[in-house]
Amino acid sequence: MKTNKSYTKRIRVTKTGKLVARKSGQDHFNAKEGGRTKNVKKHPVDLTVPKRIRRQYLSQVSK
């Protein structure tokens, strides 16, 4: 099955094989946020994707 290219551009595979991505919806309405909150929004979060979905959409990425 083909790899979903639009999805693979948003994630990164770490050295140990974890999938990491930015949490969605963090780019808007940041003017009134504090500095600590804005800094937290920049950092990525771990993705928990079932193996079946990982094989289906990310076949070439997760190897």
Classify residue 27: in a domain, yes or no.
yes
Domain hosting residue 45, numbered range: 5-57
Task: List pLDDT tens digits, range 31-58.
Answer: 999 999 999 888 888 888 888 877 777 7
Does 15 have pLDDT greater than 60?
yes
In a domain, 33, yes or no: yes
pTM over cut 0.75: no
The answer to whether position 28 is within a domain reads yes
In a domain, 62, yes or no: no
Q: How many residues does the structure list for the chain?
A: 63
- The pLDDT > 90 percentage for the chain reads 14
Q: What are phi and psi of 12, to 5 degrees?
A: -140, 140
If one counts the domains in the chain, the total is 1
What CATH number does the domain containing 43 carry? 4.10.410
Residue 63 belongs to some domain of the structure? no
The pLDDT, as a whole number, for residue 33 is 92
